[in-house]
Amino acid sequence: MAGKKRGKDQRKVRAEFRKKHQGRVRNSDLTREFKQGDGHSIEDLVQNERVSGKGELTRHRTIIGATAAPEDAAGLNVHLDVDESLVMGRVLSVHGLQSRVMTDQGQVVECAVRQLLKSLSTDQRHVVVAGDRVAIRTDGESAGMIERIEPRRTQLSRTSKGRQHVIVANCDYLLIVASAVQPALKPNLIDRFLLTAEQFDIQPVVCINKADLVDTAVLQPMLGVYAQLGYRALLTSAETGQGIDFLQALVQNSQTVVAGQSGVGKSSLLNAIEPGLGLRVGQVSHENDKGKHTTTAAQLIPLECGGFVVDTPGIRQFQLWDITASEVGGLMRDLRPYVDGCRFPDCRHINEHDCAVKDAVADGRIDARRYDAYCQIVADLEP
């Protein structure tokens, strides 16, 4: 960009960076100590001491780019300008410092990340995630450098060690996979995924796998509740092929992330959707009824029918990100119509009197199990 005139979108902006080190600050009592004759001489003083009214080093720098809202710029507060020689692509997977990127021309390139991007201040564990649209500089063969991350349309995030863990970006559908047995069905985990889908505007699909191992009549009431709320809900079996036709139509020409706990059969379903993928599958432990991790990192898998599916590691606990206890009721479709009808505007819908939500539960307008899930989620989110 040297020598070129900046356009309207190419302007200087201030960006916050991570704090890397602390410079030495001048001691305010330096002169007093010198007059007291403590044995120091001028020659012994540190020559690189910094005299500044700022105290600590600033964590902001001026760079060329455009400001952008954090939720629209991959968690970064700037949108870096790049030249026209870069190639656009999609991140397939991230392994340590390296990212596999498929360019729009179909070439797979192993890329590092520009140091400026890694230094920008963000709550995220990793600045680049699977599904990101990126601009890369490549040597024309198999190595490259990620120069810019495009704004994300959607993202699936959870809290991990107090920071935002973005599992995948730019997904159209969230296929929530649970198993009828082996491991046991966890409806509350499904409800947490649904909350996140509502928060980040992803279309969820509830999938109960291993339907061939149980009497499906016992699952119909729960599936009926989800269906009444407008969610797509179905029974599947990777062994018998039940529900596979629907999933094949769903993933075609879209980006679908498959999520759920270990052992529910996510990789088996993907192998059934497109034979030949050859994804690793594992057996559920008979001792603790828990699955073993066969997928270690989220990865985009291109499909012959068009689009991508995202295989993710198993998640046993899903801690919500950027959702407060007071927002849970508004994000649950069955509670949402009643949250404004309570006597108290700050009603938690648990112990308060004249609560429209509790009245709806008592009248059968809200499913009792879903209300119990709400109470548990609120208890986990409250300090």
201-219 pLDDT per residue, tens: 999 999 999 999 999 999 9
16 confidence band (pLDDT: 50, 70, 90)? low
**Closest alpha carbon to 133 in 158, 96, 168:** 168
Name the nearest CA neighbour of 219 among 246, 179, 258, 182. 179
- Report whether pLDDT(285) > 90: no
Strands 78-80 and 60-67 come out as antiparallel
Residues 6 or more apart whose Cβ sits within 8 Å of residue 298:
93, 94, 129, 130, 131, 167, 168, 257, 310, 311, 312, 313
Rounded-to-integer distance, Cα 96 and Cα 94, Å: 6
| Angle, vertex CA 368, rays to CA 159 and CA 334, nearest 5 | 65
pLDDT band at 291 (very low <50, low <70, confident <90, very high): very low
d(CA 146, CA 86): 9
- In whole angstroms, what is the distance from residue 289 CA to residue 295 CA? 18
Three-state DSSP at 337 gives: helix
Residues 349-360 have pLDDT tens digits of 999 999 999 999
Main-chain dihedrals φ then ψ at residue 38, nearest 5 degrees:
-85, 15
Gap between the Cα atoms of 58 and 67, Å rounded:
19
Alpha helices in the chain (DSSP H): 30-35, 115-119, 187-199, 220-228, 244-251, 266-273, 328-331, 356-362, 368-381
pLDDT band at 32 (very low <50, low <70, confident <90, very high): low
Q: Residue 273: what pLDDT?
A: 92
For 356-365, the CB contacts below 8 A with 24+ separation are 357/329, 360/335, 365/338
pLDDT of residue 365: 97
DSSP state for residue 185 in the 8-state scheme: P
In order of 20, 39, 208, 335, the CA distances from 220 in angstroms are 55, 85, 11, 21
Range in 6-20, 108-122, 171-185 with the lowest mean pLDDT: 6-20
**Per-residue pLDDT at 115 exceeds 60:** yes
Q: Tokens 């964590």 label which residue?
A: 59
pLDDT band with cut points at 50, 70 and 90 for residue 93: very high
What is the set of domains in the chain, with CATH numbers? 63-152 (2.40.50.140), 157-311 (3.40.50.300), 325-381 (1.10.40.50)
Asked if the model's pLDDT at residue 1 lies above 80, the reply is no
What global pTM score does this model have? 0.76
- pLDDT-wise least confident of 196-200, 261-265, 337-341: 261-265
Q: What is the pLDDT, as a whole number, of residue 3?
A: 43
Q: How confident is the model at residue 298 (pLDDT cuts 50, 70, 90)?
A: confident
Identify the pLDDT of residue 7: 46
pLDDT, tens digit (0-9, with 9 covering 90-100), for 304-318? 888 899 988 877 778
Strands (E), the chain: 11-16, 60-67, 78-80, 87-95, 98-103, 108-113, 133-138, 143-149, 155-160, 163-169, 173-179, 203-209, 232-235, 255-259, 299-302, 308-311
**Which burial class, exposed, middle or buried, applies to 315 when counting CB atoms under 10 A from its CB (0-12, 13-18, 19+)?**
middle
pLDDT score at 284: 46
Distance CA 29, CA 120 (A): 35
Residue 364: per-residue pLDDT: 96
